[in-house]
Each structure stands twice: as C-alpha cells, then as structure tokens.
Amino acid sequence: MPEFANDPEGDAEWEGLLQQLRHQPLAQPRPFFYGRVQARLAAETSRAWLPGWMRRPAYAMLVGALVLVLSGDDKALASGTIPPAASAPIRR
Amino acid sequence: MVAPTLDAEVELVAQLQRGSEAAFRTLVDRYQNRVYRTAFSLLRNPEEAEDVAQEVFVEVYQTIGRFRGEAALSTWLYRLATSRALKTRRRTQTKKRLAFFTSLLGFRNEVLHEPPDHAHPLTLLEGQQQFELLLAHIARLPDQQQVAFTLRHEQELSYEQIAAVLGTTVAAVESLLFRARQTLRKHVQPPFRHA
C-alpha cells in the first residue's frame, strides 16, 4: 500500500500540483507559423526527387567514393606516384 | 477553442484531399496550438516543439490522400505529434549520451553533458521547485505513461480520446494513468513528509 493512501493533506498537495500543471501559461508557436510550415514544405518538395537514402550525407559520400573507384581514377592517381624502379636503391 | 463539428471536419479533409491551400491554412490555424502544446509538453523545449509541429503539418499535407477517416482528424494529429515528439526526444537523448562519452574520451575539452544536479531533494521541494521536480519526473516516465499523463493533465483529453490517440482501450489508459500517478507521487511528496 503506498504511503500516500488515505492522506487528505498529501492529496490536497498533489491536487494543487496537478492544478498548477493544468493552468501553466499556454505555450504557443511563434507568430507566422504557417509561413514557416510553407517554407519547410517547399524545401521538402524541392528535394523529393532524390531517393531518401541519398539525402543522408554518409550515403552520398559513400556513393561518391564508389563512383570514383569504379571510374578507374584510383588507378590514374596511383600511377602518378613514383615508379618502383625510380625508388629502388642504387646498386654499385 | 470550439471544437469543429464532425461535418465541418469531414468537409475540411475532403478539401485537403483535393489539394486546397486554403483548407491547409485553415487546418494549420485551427490545430497549430494543440499540436505545438502536445509536443512542448513532451519535450519542454520551444525549438524542438516548433520543429515537431512543422513536421506534423508537412506530413499531414503529404499523406492526407491516405487518410480514410477511421479516426478523427484531431486524433490523427495528436498521434503524429506524440510519436514525432517521442522520436525527437530519443534522438536528443542519444546525442547527449554520445556527447557525454566523447567528452569522457577527451575528444573535446568542453563539457558537453548536462552537469549533475547536486541539489539535495529537500531543497527542491519548495513551491515552484516542487513543480519543476514534478516536470522532471514526468519526463522520466515510460513513453506510453508520459503521453497518457500529459494528454490527460495538460491537454485535458478524455480517457476515450487518449485511448484513440494511443490506439488502445480505455481500461489500458486507466492503468497507464494509475501507474504514472503512483510513480510521480512516490517521487514528488510534500516537504513535511521528509522532516
């Protein structure tokens, strides 16, 4: 049995707190809320042509990296380094 | 605020489904405060509540075509607002936890986690502070209990309306509210009790 059962004084305190909760100053959005919703809707619509997973930066970067690797640019980049013969020690 | 009649609501939904911008504006004007307050009561953060309220109306605009009227429009809006608010809260908590661990690992010098509150419970149990304590414990309730409690005691919804929002029965709502009150009363007790 909870401690507060049959406790008129505690009940009154509790009811007072609930009243306070009910009568808090009413929160409301800042003015021109509709305008901000419209702006957000327009932003969502303009990027709707992209698939959902592409809108995440991590996935977009992964796709970019994959395209780079598959396009063969990595080979071109590797060939730009010092050739093995040039870096071999000179034998006398 | 006077609740719109069922016919007016059905007509509003029909206009929305036809893509009427005037109807969308009416919807936002009519429900923005309720949606915002519902989100705010679960998040206690004006920026996050605004964000959730915007998301709710964007989702309504985009998915109104699929609304078949099984529930009242207001019920659907409360449902969207509560589920999105809880999702936002979970995301914020995850970020806080991550920030706490990165600060422990010393990646950044700044203290990113919430500094612990060293105030003794006795000092919190006075006037406004007791109310703050109540809010803090409401935020720690399990999701379903918190939604039921705030919809009942802040939005003043009936048990039937809360059951519709949560997709459950009135008996289940009664049980959720009973458990929520029991937990809260255990943690928020009058100061003389501790003397």
DSSP assignments along B49-117, one per residue: HHHHHHHHHHHHHHHGGG--SSS-HHHHHHHHHHHHHHHHHHHHHHHHHHHHHHHHHTSSSS--SPPP-
CATH number of B117-195: 1.10.10.10
pLDDT exceeds cutoff 90 at A59: no
Nearest Cα neighbor of B3 from B39, B54, B12, B59 is B12
Q: Is the pLDDT of residue A52 over 60?
A: yes
pLDDT the model gives residue B1: 46
Residue B124 pLDDT > 60: no
Given 1.20.210.10, 1.10.1740.10, 3.40.50.2300, 1.10.150.20, which CATH number is that of B1-115? Answer: 1.10.1740.10
Note the pLDDT of residue A67: 84
Q: Which residues of A make CB contacts under 8 Å with B?
A: 2-4, 9-10, 13-14, 17-18, 20-22, 24, 26-30, 33-34, 36-37, 40-41, 44
Greater model confidence, B190 or B8: B8
A3, A33, A37 member nearest B58 (Cβ) = A37
Q: What's the pLDDT score for residue A85?
A: 55
Provide residues of B within 8 Å CB-CB of chain A: 25, 28-29, 32-33, 36-37, 40-41, 46, 49-50, 53-55, 57-58, 61-62, 130-131, 134, 153-154, 156, 182, 185-186, 188-190, 193
Minimal C-alpha gap between A54 and chain B (Å): 20
Residues of chain B with CATH 1.10.10.10: 117-195
Does the beta-carbon distance from B50 to A29 stay under 8 Å? yes
Answer yes or no: is pLDDT of B175 > 90.
Answer: yes
User: Average pLDDT in the B19-47 region?
Assistant: 96
pLDDT in tens, B48-61: 999 999 999 999 99
CA angle B177, B179, B181 (to 5 degrees): 65
Is B157:B165 a contact under the CB 8 Å cutoff? yes
Tell me the percentage of chain B whose pLDDT exceeds 90.
Answer: 66
Nearest CB partner across the interface for A21, out of B37, B153, B186: B153
Around A87, how many Cα atoms within 13 Å sit in the side-chain half-sphere?
Answer: 4
For residues B69-86, give the mean pLDDT: 94
Assign B195 a pLDDT band (cuts: 50, 70, 90).
very low
Q: Average model confidence (pLDDT) for chain B? A: 86
Answer whether B55's CB lies under 8 Å from A45's CB: no
Task: Give which of B72, B69, B79, B73 is closest to B24, Cα–Cα.
Answer: B73
ipTM score assigned to the predicted complex: 0.77
Q: In the predicted model, what is the mean pLDDT of residues B174-186?
A: 95
Cα B95–chain centre separation: 19
**Which pLDDT belongs to residue B94?**
87
Stated as kind and residue range, the H or E segment containing A12 is helix A8-22
Q: What angle do CA B111, B116, B120 make, to 5 degrees?
A: 155
The pLDDT value given to residue B117: 55
Is the confidence at residue B69, as pLDDT, over 70?
Answer: yes
**In whole angstroms, what is the distance from residue B192 CA to residue B195 CA?**
5
User: Encoding tokens for residue A23?
Assistant: 């009568």
Q: Which residues in chain A have their CB less than 8 angstroms from residue B186's CB?
A: 2-4
Tell me the two tokens of residue A34.
């509709």
Residue B65: predicted pLDDT: 92
Separation in Å, CA of B151 to nearest CA in chain A:
10
First to last CA, chain B: 44
Q: Give the sign of the dihedral formed by CA A18, CA A22, CA A23, CA A29.
A: positive
Tokens representing B182 are: 């029991």
pLDDT for A58 equals 76
Q: What is the spatial distance between Cα B179 and Cα B142, in angstroms, rounded to a whole number? A: 10
Q: Where in chain B is the domain with CATH 1.10.1740.10?
A: 1-115
